[in-house]
Amino acid sequence: MKRKLAVAISAAFFAAACASSGAGQQSADAAWYTTESLTPSTVPVGLGPRAADENFPMTQIMADPDWLGRFPEQAYWSWDGRSVLFNRKREGSPQRDLFIRGLTAGGNGEQVALADLHAHAYRTGVFNADRSLRAYVFERNIFVLEQSNGNVRQLTRDTQNKTDLQFLADGRLSYRSGNDFYAMDLSNGYTELVLSLQTQDAPEALAEPKDILAQEEIDLIVYNQVQRRIREERFNDQQALQQANPALAPAPVYLGRGVQVAEVSLSPTADRALVAVTQPQSWRGEGDLMPRYVTESGRVENQDVRRRVADASPVNHTLYLVDLATGEKTELKYDTLPGFDEDVLKSVREENYAAEGKTYVSERKPRAIEVMARWSAQEGNINWKADGSAVAIMLRAWDNKDRWIATVDFAEGKLVNQHRLHDEAWINRDFNAFNWLPNSNSLWYLSEESNYSHLYVKNLDNNRVRQLTSGRYLVDQVTLNAAGDTFYFQANKPHPGIFEIYRVPVSGGDVEQLTDLGGMTSYQLSPNEERLLLTHSSVHQPPEIYVQDAQPNVAAMRLTETVSAEFVAKPWPLPEIVPVPSSHVEDPIYSRVYVPADFDAERAEQYPAVVFIHGAGYLQNAHAGWSNYFREFMFHSKLTEQGYVVLDLDFRGSAGYGRDWRTAVYRQMGWPEVEDLVDVVKWLGEHRNVDVERVGTYGGSYGGFLTFMSLFNEPGLFKAGAALRPVTDWAHYNTGYTSNILNRPQDDMIAYRRSSPIYFAEGLEDALLISAPMVDDNVFFQDSVRLVQRLIELEKENFETAIFPVEPHGFVQPSSWLDQYRRIYKLFEDNLK
């Protein structure tokens, strides 16, 4: 039967409903991207009569958000699974406090006393082999929790930083301090240094004479000869003592002068380590300073800022396998990785050379390759088997086109490729989790190779790969249970804007849905693996904590009620999630649509409208959960109260819809997205009785960039636009984000000129507000200054600027939020009504 997905919205959550209609066949996966709009009978569009203006006063919706409530953050299970712990923002302060709530207790829990914080800080702790002990760091010191009784033992009390805790195969606990690795015997506290890394050349007994004069001085003067002999004897004696006496710490491993340690991983048997080193690169831009004009000193103070992508140089990691018994290090070269020397930018360089009247000659040469950065404590980039017999490492090409998972052949001292993920655009920085299956020679990993992030298992004995999940949905937050036979994960299987929790057997089989809350749901498996700790939100409900048995078709129990009564009492409008058909690609443009409470699709007078453009580029906002753009949600509520229709779209490039949607902006940022903006404005006119001659837009950061691109390249599409903290020239933005999408300016200036609004400023015809924070160390204030100068030189008239002297990229002061959004509101009132 053909299935049509509808999403009904309530004040608590969105519920997915599937209705049968028509003849023909369509799979459940295909129904995910239905292009039919949702009907008013399915989705409520308001809460009754039109509310009075005072429901959403600007002074309140832009005030300190404490009035909404202080919601639980970073929730985790207590050691025994009988309580949950979470952070809450302190009222009137950015500080967070830890709370604990028993599953059978009422209320929102009790704040953990400062004196007891160390006993509850095990959220990211590591387990020993039988999971009887959990080790963790609190305020630089190591603690061990006994899982059987909750007893906590403090192992260190000092001020040295400690990281990379792991239990070794022999039961000892290892940790890192600086570039030294230690192993501690928990039975007696005996601690030994097992690896010391030194970023300098190995010492020599006698340095060679620097020049002919030094050689003559040694040959001529007996005193110099005696001193050299004494130094040589001391050195040789120390070397002999180091080798002969087991009571001494092992000799350092010397990595060479002028390098820095990028990654280190010690084997569980403490006999080997993988070490990646690189040439130091400062994050600061050369000569770049950001002046602060409002300071406590009353004087202008300068702050260093990050380098720009135009100044970035390739970063390469040299990878070593270190034998801890001998101190010998073997370089693991990348030449065994498929594509390690491909000219993956060949077509890009040919196009750019041709534009300059030159001919590009392609050649194969080693690419810069790095150990994949760790984006979370749960996603390791170097993973050992529990017995230390094998290791897998994830590597990424600096040009962003390849990701490899490789194992190490210890006998041959070389990398063995196990999986290559190549992308003509760029490799995603999400969906890179991988690890070993216990007691087997198999790896599991996430990959976007099918367009969506899915779960795979590879048997290294026969190279057979099994895909455990498939379909038009994303798999993330993977947890393998202790037995190693079941994967738990989060996925947006029912609808791109609804994330639920699922499980699937490691051996393969049906994917089983465990939660059915609608909205956005993340999870943590309980210590006994019988329950799920859920953090769930909906459009009208900020994140709250729930608990549910780890079984399908059971109800979740809500534990926290932190939303304020004042927020709940407001008559917030209920947006639809609408799949707006695209005129350029098969998949629709999912959008949230807000209409006035007394909306009349047939009335003679058409409605003015506002289109909100989310920031970050790769971010999902037209989903069924609580949005990080909560101020914008409240501002949209005010706009509907004043008779506007509001649409908030997930344009191409947004997260949540798969690889093809994400990479549609490759080398052409601002063009597919503006095409999507044209489509949603047209849809508003055809389906929501909007006057397309009275539509405005606004957005911050990437949204500010797209505001420029739409006003400059599609004049008349929007009668007014507000660009907040906007990017105007991508060559001035950071490397990590920009080089993914546009390569480097040195390789692809065509893409930068094509994608940077400053090159299209002559197209401005409509009203423009530029809102620029002056101490923004993400998108520099200079971006706005340069564009303003360009507009002045072009003799443009219909623009204005608003500067915010003390604000960073994300505003902090309520007075700044209020001022900014009053200006946006006035812009729309003046130009759309």
Residue 243: what pLDDT?
A: 80
Rounded to whole angstroms, the Cα distance separating 794 from 286 reads 31
Joined tokens for residue 557: 């129990």
Residue 729 C-alpha from the chain's centroid? 23
Condensed to tens digits (0 to 9), the pLDDT of residues 290-312 reads 899 898 999 889 898 989 999 99
User: Which amino acid appears at position 728 of this protein?
Assistant: T
Q: Give residue for tokens 């060559």.
A: 731
User: Which amino acid appears at position 528 of this protein?
Assistant: N
pLDDT (average), residues 660-667 = 98
Residue 375: what pLDDT?
A: 65
8 Å CB contact between 562 and 537: no
Encode burial over 541-574: b for 16+ CB neighbours within 10 A, e otherwise.
bbbbbbbbebeeeeebeebbebbeeebeebbbbb
- For every residue of 380-430, which 3-state class applies, written as one string? CCEEECCCCCCEEEEEEECCCCEEEEEEEECCCCEEEEEEEEECCCCCCCC
Rounded to whole angstroms, the Cα distance separating 98 from 117 reads 8
- pLDDT of residue 708 exceeding 80: yes
Closest CA to 507 of 484, 529, 475, 488: 484
Residue 248: what pLDDT?
A: 78
Closest CA to 83 of 137, 117, 125, 120: 120
Closest CA to 643 of 590, 687, 603, 700: 603
Residue 761 C-alpha from the chain's centroid? 32
Rounded to whole angstroms, the Cα distance separating 134 from 406 reads 29
DSSP code of 97?
A: E
Closest CA to 330 of 382, 258, 255, 268: 255
DSSP code of 582?
A: P
Condensed to tens digits (0 to 9), the pLDDT of residues 743-801 reads 999 999 999 999 999 999 999 999 999 999 999 999 999 999 999 999 999 999 999 99
3-state class of 349 per DSSP? helix
Rounded to whole angstroms, the Cα distance separating 769 from 788 reads 11
pLDDT (average), residues 685-710 = 98
- pLDDT of residue 7 exceeding 70: no
User: Between the CA of residue 137 and those of 112, 161, 565, what are the distances in Å?
Assistant: 17, 9, 38
C-beta neighbour count of 139 within 10 angstroms: 9
Whole-structure pTM value: 0.91
Joined tokens for residue 703: 């949204």
Residue 812: what pLDDT?
A: 95
Residue 293: what pLDDT?
A: 86
For residue 95, what are the contacts with CB-CB under 8 A and spacing of at least 6?
A: 89
Condensed to tens digits (0 to 9), the pLDDT of residues 377-389 reads 556 799 999 999 9
- pLDDT of residue 45 exceeding 60: no
Share of the chain above pLDDT 70, in %: 93
8 Å CB contact between 791 and 761: yes
Residue 374: what pLDDT?
A: 79
3-state class of 633 per DSSP? helix
Condensed to tens digits (0 to 9), the pLDDT of residues 386-421 reads 999 999 999 999 999 999 999 999 999 999 999 999
Looking at every residue in the chain, the average pLDDT score rounds to: 91
For residue 537, what are the contacts with CB-CB under 8 A and spacing of at least 6?
A: 519, 520, 543, 544, 625, 626
Residue 282: what pLDDT?
A: 79
Q: Give residue for tokens 């002990």.
A: 133
Residue 19: what pLDDT?
A: 30
For residue 107, what are the contacts with CB-CB under 8 A and spacing of at least 6?
A: 101
- For every residue of 220-273, which 3-state class applies, written as one string? HCHHHHHHHHHHHHHHHHHHHHHHHCCCCCCCCEECCCCCEEEEEEECCCCCEE
Residue 238: what pLDDT?
A: 79
Joined tokens for residue 409: 């052949």
Longest C-alpha distance within the chain, in Å?
108
**Cross-strand partners of 291:** 302
Residue 322: what pLDDT?
A: 98
User: Between the CA of residue 225 and those of 219, 235, 237, what are the distances in Å?
Assistant: 7, 15, 18
Q: Give residue for tokens 């005129």.
A: 583
Confidence label for 54 from pLDDT (cuts 50, 70 and 90):
confident
For residue 823, what are the contacts with CB-CB under 8 A and spacing of at least 6?
A: 722, 769, 771, 802
- pLDDT of residue 38 exceeding 50: no
Closest CA to 487 of 427, 546, 434: 434
Please state the length of the chain.
833
- pLDDT of residue 285 exceeding 60: yes
Condensed to tens digits (0 to 9), the pLDDT of residues 536-581 reads 999 999 999 999 999 999 999 999 999 999 999 999 999 999 999 9
- pLDDT of residue 41 exceeding 90: no
For residue 527, what are the contacts with CB-CB under 8 A and spacing of at least 6?
A: 77, 79, 80, 81, 147
Residue 378: what pLDDT?
A: 57
- Residue 24: Cβ-neighbour burial (10 angstroms; 0-12, 13-18, 19+): exposed
Rounded to whole angstroms, the Cα distance separating 639 from 608 reads 10
Rounded to whole angstroms, the Cα distance separating 321 from 727 reads 43
3-state class of 619 per DSSP? coil
Residue 8: what pLDDT?
A: 34
> Are β-strands 272-278 and 475-480 bridged in parallel, bridged antiparallel, or unpaired?
unpaired
C-beta neighbour count of 159 within 10 angstroms: 8
User: Between the CA of residue 333 and those of 263, 272, 561, 749, what are the distances in Å?
Assistant: 16, 17, 55, 32
Condensed to tens digits (0 to 9), the pLDDT of residues 23-33 reads 333 333 333 34
Condensed to tens digits (0 to 9), the pLDDT of residues 502-537 reads 999 999 999 999 999 999 999 999 999 999 999 999
Share of the chain above pLDDT 90, in %: 83
Joined tokens for residue 262: 């990028």
- pLDDT of residue 36 exceeding 70: no
Confidence label for 227 from pLDDT (cuts 50, 70 and 90):
confident
Residue 654 C-alpha from the chain's centroid? 13
User: Which amino acid appears at position 587 of this protein?
Assistant: D
Residue 706: what pLDDT?
A: 98
248 torsion bin: left (phi>0), alpha (psi -120 to 50), beta (else): beta
